[in-house]
Amino acid sequence: MAYVRTALLIAGSAAALAACGSDTHAPLDPRDPATPPPQTFVPNGVPTPGAVATNMTFAVLSTGEDHTCGITTTAQAWCWGVHAIGTTSSWGQRPAYPWPVDGQRQYVSIAAGRSHTCATSTAGEVFCWGRETPFGAMQGNGSWDAPRRLDPDPAVTNVVSGGSFSCGLRRGAAVCWGHNLWGELGSGDPLPAARQAAVSGGLRFKRLGSVIGHTICGITDDDRLFCWGRGDLGQLGAGAPDSCYGG
C-alpha cells in the first residue's frame, strides 16, 4: 500500500510510468535517470500525475511507504524514493529518480514494503534488500544495501512485503519472515522470525494479496479468504477489531 505517494502504471504496448501524491522525500523527475537532478525537496504534494523515467517502459510496479520499485519490460529492477536502496551507490541517499538495482539480474516480480524490498528473479530466486532492524524482512540483523538471496528459499513465489515483514508461498503453504508486532507472521508465535516461519492452520493458498501495513490476506485453493496480523481498525474483516497470531 502507498502510504505517502501513489504510483500509477499506464497500460499499453509501451507502458509509461506516472506518479502523483505527497513527495516531500524524493521529488519526481521526468528527465533521463542517467543524468541525476539536484536534490531539492518540495514542501507539498503533487496533485497531478507527473511522468517518471520517460525513457524506460515498465511491466511491473510496487509502491512502498516512501519508495517505489518497478521492473522494466526488459526485466530490470529500478527503485526510487527515501528507502530506494538496492544499489551501493544509493545507500544513505534519497534518489529522486530511478536507480538500477545491483546484481545484473532479471526479475519477474517485486514487492516494496515499508523500508525494504523483495523481488523474484527469472530463475525463481528471491532477493531482498533495504533497511530493517533488528529483523525486518531480510533474515538477521542490520540492513542490506544490495540484494541478497534468501537462504533458504525453496520455490518461494508470490512474495509480498509490508511494514517490516514479507510473506510468500512455498508449494501452496504461506511462509512469512521479519517483525511480528501485530502477529503479521501468522505463525501463532508473537516473536519475530529471521527465517521463514510457516503460517499456522495448514491452509493451502493460491494467492496472497497486497499487504496493507501489518495486515495480510490470502485466497485458499478452495476460494476462501483468510486474513491475519493487525486488526485494531477492522482490517481482518472478522466482524470485530482484533489482532491475530494465527491458529
pLDDT for the residue 164: 84
Dist CA 76 CA 203 (whole Å) = 34
pLDDT for the residue 44: 58
Dist CA 113 CA 242 (whole Å) = 23
DSSP readout, 47-69?
EEEEEE-TT--EEEEEE-SSEEE
Q: HEC string of 141-190?
A: CCEEEEEEECCCCCCEEEEEECCCEEEEEECCEEEEEECCCCCCCCCCCC
- Give pLDDT tens digits for 150-170: 766 567 889 999 888 999 999
Residues of the chain with confidence (pLDDT) below 50:
1-14, 23-34, 90, 133-139, 246-247
What pTM, to 2 d.p., does this model score?
0.75
- Cell triple for residue 165? 515483514
Cross-sheet strand order for the sheet of 5-9: 5-9, 17-21, 46-52
CB atoms within 10 A of CB 207: 13
pLDDT for the residue 18: 56
pLDDT for the residue 102: 81
pLDDT for the residue 134: 37
pLDDT for the residue 208: 95
At residue 88, what are phi and psi to the nearest 5 degrees? -60, -30
pLDDT for the residue 225: 96
pLDDT for the residue 94: 66
